[in-house]
Structure 1
């Protein structure tokens, strides 16, 4: 793990689907540092919250055209990552929620933000927001959506600062954990 110095240059680079496979282990390492409470936790692993599950998730998402991964580097060392892809509302929200989200999120270009993680020593420095901005720029959606664990206070605080709003509860599987489905209206006119 890299610790911050007093003078560090942070650079965010974006990668398309063909460039992502060699970065999966880097992303998993960052995710593990950012979520120490989930690493080696059998209960979390049974809910699909593990390094192995992240590997499977990213590999499964590589089929989505437009998938983009953003990685933040501090003096050349990876300290954060995020990835997202354009998706259909039916795919992202599922049949139970698709009719409950705002009409724009159902009809306009939608980005599914799958992961956003920053190593703890680098949290609180704006890196999560930079990663998010890089994904928004690369994918150019009108709406963005993500799933967040309700008790992930740091993540929830970041997403609120970025403008995401609660849209309802969401479960990937009937026995899986309940997430907060969050939505962001990215359209310029929505900021007015």
Structure 2
């Protein structure tokens, strides 16, 4: 299955913000039953605004017949990033050194239920990465999501677990994963 994918920069966020919020609520709350302050739409919108305020933020949104079916977005890690500061696992020397060009963080990837299991998430993910110039991409995944199935999908996409972190006091402990932006 193929969907139409459109790319957006931070200045275009107002065009897609409501789509992102609506999909977040549909998937996180209704499909997965994730509740609590960390998953509230207001908190998601705050994180979205924070990410989009950083240089290099970009999103990819998938559409079928004009209907948004999923999205992903992320931002490069700059020299002042706190991305690696909440690691609970020691990382090799130099692993966390960032300059805004080395690593892009995939902050969110969400696909609506009718489009899951059809390769749409992979398509949106790869379309987003096709526009990136960084060396590697990192993401956080709740190892309990889908009884481990979500992490297994990322592993099938080439991601490898680097360690664990808890970026917010009320967030789950996430597996921190990375892979090269371009896989050869």
Q: Secondary structure at the match of 2:131?
A: helix
Q: Which residue number in structure 1 is paired with residue 5 of structure 2?
A: 12
2-structure distance, mates of 1:180, 1:161: 15
Q: Residues 9 and 75 of structure 1 are in contact (CA less than 8 Å); yes or no, is this contact kept in structure 2? A: no
1-structure distance, mates of 2:40, 2:65: 28
Is 1:158 equivalent to 2:148 in the alignment? no
Is 1:92 equivalent to 2:87 in the alignment? no
Q: Secondary structure at the match of 2:171?
A: coil
Q: Which residue number in structure 2 is paired with residue 182 of structure 1?
A: 177
2-structure distance, mates of 1:135, 1:9: 15
Cα distance, 1:59–1:101 mapped onto 2, change above 3 Å? farther
Q: CA deviation at 1:33?
A: 2.1
**Mean Cα displacement is larger for which, 84-93 or 95-104?**
95-104
What is the RMSD computed on CA atoms of the aligned residues? 2.5
Q: Which residue number in structure 2 is paired with residue 136 of structure 1?
A: 129
2-structure distance, mates of 1:151, 1:104: 25
TM-score (norm 2): 0.84
Structure 1: segments with no counterpart, 5+ residues? 1-7
2-structure distance, mates of 1:129, 1:63: 26
Cα distance, 1:179–1:99 mapped onto 2, change above 3 Å? closer
Cα distance, 1:97–1:14 mapped onto 2, change above 3 Å? farther
Q: Secondary structure at the match of 2:143?
A: coil
Q: Which residue number in structure 2 is paired with residue 51 of structure 1?
A: 41
2-structure distance, mates of 1:99, 1:140: 27
Q: CA deviation at 1:101?
A: 5.1
Is 1:148 equivalent to 2:138 in the alignment? no
Q: CA deviation at 1:186?
A: 2.8
Paired residues for 1:71-82 under 5 Å:
71-82=61-72
Q: Residues 69 and 135 of structure 1 are in contact (CA less than 8 Å); yes or no, is this contact kept in structure 2? A: yes
Q: CA deviation at 1:22?
A: 2.8
Is 1:23 equivalent to 2:13 in the alignment? no
What is the number of residues matched between the two proteins? 178
